Amino acid sequence: MLCTDGSGLALDALRQGLELLVPGTRTVVVSVMAPFDPSLMTGTGFAGGVMTPDERDEAMEKEQSEAQLAVDEVVSGLGLLDAETIVRVGDAGHEICELAASLPASVVVIGTHGHSGVRRAMMGSTSDYVVRNAVCPVLVQGAG
């Protein structure tokens, strides 16, 4: 299972990680998009919503298209013409681990941006979460 966030760094990391895998096995490329924040429509406290239901639908369709484009770019960029593509909605780490368990995946390949220290502690790390919670081996590949 190859994971992408649509960035060039992710594609580079997957390209490097793919070299270590057995060719000809089932390949699934996945991207996870963030869930919609309902407070954008309902507002919070005294502040009203800033988005109509139609605008929400349009934004969600745009995000879905961008996520699908991300997995399609991995498929074409890595020449994985037989790969399956999946777009999920939710927390990226959790969704990747759930999908890895349900497939079941033999390995998860995921890139890392290489953040460390305070930045990593503040932002969290999807790759850290996946390493700690996946039911299969995880290959974390830094780009560059």
- Domains annotated on the chain, with CATH: 2-31+61-142 (3.40.50.620)
pLDDT at 19: 84
User: Quick one: average pLDDT of 121-144?
Assistant: 81
Average pLDDT, the chain: 85
pLDDT tier at 133, thresholds 50, 70, 90: very high
Other C-beta atoms closer than 10 Å to the C-beta of 22 total 7
pLDDT tier at 123, thresholds 50, 70, 90: very low
Tens digits of residue pLDDT in 59-86: 889 999 999 999 999 999 999 989 999 9
Token code pair at residue 27: 């390949």
pLDDT tier at 101, thresholds 50, 70, 90: very high
Q: How many Å apart are CA 13 and CA 46, to the nearest integer?
A: 45
DSSP structural state of residue 22:
P
- The gap from C-alpha 45 to its chain's centroid, in whole angstroms, comes to 32
Question: Coil, helix or strand for 74?
Answer: helix
Token code pair at residue 18: 């793919």
Token code pair at residue 91: 């927390």
Q: How many Å apart are CA 4 and CA 11, to the nearest integer?
A: 7
